Every structure is written in C-alpha cells, then in structure tokens.
Amino acid sequence: MANATTSRVVPRRITGDVVRLVLGRLRGLTAIAVMSIIGIGISIYLTSVHYAKVPLFCSTSGVIDCASVLKSPYGVVPGTQLPITFPGMLWFVVSGGIAVWVLLAAMRGMPPSTWWSNALKGWGIIGLFSILYLIYAEIVKLHHICAWCTVIHALVVVTLLVALMQDTTMPTLPAQSGAIKSTAPSVKSASNAAAQRPNATGKSITSSRPSQSNSRVASRPMATTKGGRPSSATAKAKTPMSAGAKNTR
C-alpha cells in the first residue's frame, strides 16, 4: 500500500542560531566568501586607478613597483584595452557567488547537489593558470612585482586549496517547531484508530463487556417464603418422613 504521507522539503526560516551553525560547519565556504569580498575590493580599486586615475598606494622604486606592472602591456587583457584587474574581479564574483549560494541553501535546509564542489575546483584551476602567467610576466619580463597583484594571486591560490579540501557534507539543522506540532495529531489519531479497530466478529475491541460472575448473580432468581421474605440461598429443603417411619414410633 502506498504511503499516505509524502516527504516534501520546505524552506526554513533563517535564524541567528541557524546562521552560526552553518558558518561553523562550512568554514571553508565561509572563508572563500570572505576572500572573494577582499579580492573584489582590491580589483575595484585597481580598476579605478586605471580609468579614474585614482592615486596608487604602492612603492614606485625597487623590485616592488605597482605602477610599472599595471601600465605595462601585461596590465591589460591581450588584444584589448581592458585592464587585467577586470577579469580578476569577475573571477572573485563567480567563486564568491558559488560559496554564498551554497551557504544560503544550507541555512534554508535545502542543500544543493554536489556539482558546486567540482565547479568551484575547476574555477580555481582556471584562476591558478591565469596567475601563473601573470607571475611569469612580472618576474621574467618586467622584473617588477605589484604588491596589490600579489595579494590577489595569494587569494586565488588559497581559494583553490580550500575548494580542494572542502567538505561537501551539509550540516544537520535542528527540526522546526512547526514540523513537530504537525506530527502530533497524526500520532494521536493513529492511536485512537488502533484502539477502535473492529475484531473478527465485527465488535469493537474497546467495547465494554460485563463480568461473567456479575451476569450469573444477576440472572439467578431469589427464593421467597410464604411471608414474602427471601429465604437463604444455603437453606436446605426438609425431606418429609415416610408413613412407615411414623408407625414404627
């Protein structure tokens, strides 16, 4: 017989306790989300330096020279005038978006499929090859290092390492109070139905049945005397004497 009740996942309300539980269990995704915010901030700052001529806070002499790196041909996307920081910003938006999406889904009690883990790892590998090319350009071609770019490179590497070691097991959230209350009437009704189930003769199991001893006592008639008083149940009837016995006396 098919089950009458079907399990359906209902999104839960996000509370402070749920947020602390999910962030504590999924520390890797939380770290990826935080690193993505930092990477987006640095990318926006360097992009504004390229377009809005915002002052660049970095060393301009020695090996560390951010201006020399950003103004070089390697500071833009090959074949375009788009700064290299723009695709870097998009990379952090995607990686951070995946992490935040999984965290919110876990908080609502609706964890997504595990494909997000492979997507995050693959995206991290793409970022790794990109920064290896930029590090090669800085050290071998330009002989200068951009401090801001180095921070972004470190964030990409750490994001990839965390994605590779990230546990995809979603945390078990506490049961909702509404779900507990909704199951109480069904349990009570089930117990009542079991108590009132008819037996093979068609009578209810819980129907009251008079005691056998009480029915016998109630059906036994009481003997009465000539005066109308009830006689004792243990009194014995007197046997009449025969005529022969009277004559012998």
The H-assigned helical ranges of the chain are 16-25, 27-51, 66-70, 85-107, 115-136, 147-165, 177-195, 212-219, 243-248
**pLDDT value of residue 210:** 46
Written as six digits, the tokens of 65 are: 């020279």
d(CA 200, CA 76): 88
**pLDDT value of residue 231:** 47
> 130-139 long-range CB contacts below 8 Å, 24 or more apart?
130/87, 130/88, 130/91, 130/156, 131/156, 131/157, 134/74, 134/84, 137/72, 137/74, 138/69, 138/74
**pLDDT value of residue 59:** 86
Written as six digits, the tokens of 54 are: 């915002």
**Residue position matching structure tokens 């049961």:** 175
| pLDDT in single tens digits along all 249 residues of the chain | 444 443 456 777 888 888 999 999 999 999 999 999 999 999 999 999 999 889 999 988 889 999 999 999 999 998 898 999 999 999 999 999 999 999 999 999 887 888 899 999 999 999 999 999 999 999 999 999 999 999 999 999 999 999 999 878 888 777 665 443 444 444 444 445 444 555 544 444 444 444 444 444 444 444 444 444 554 444 444 444 444 444 444
Burial classification of residue 149, based on how many CB atoms lie within 10 Å of its CB (0-12 exposed, 13-18 middle, 19 or more buried):
buried
Cβ atoms of 64 and 58 closer than 8 Å = yes
d(CA 236, CA 1): 67
**pLDDT value of residue 98:** 95
The structural domains of the chain, ordered by start, are 16-165 (1.20.1440.130)
**pLDDT value of residue 114:** 80
Q: How far is CA 108 from CA 9, 111, 161, 170, in A?
A: 10, 8, 27, 11
**pLDDT value of residue 175:** 67
**Whole-model pTM above 0.75?**
no
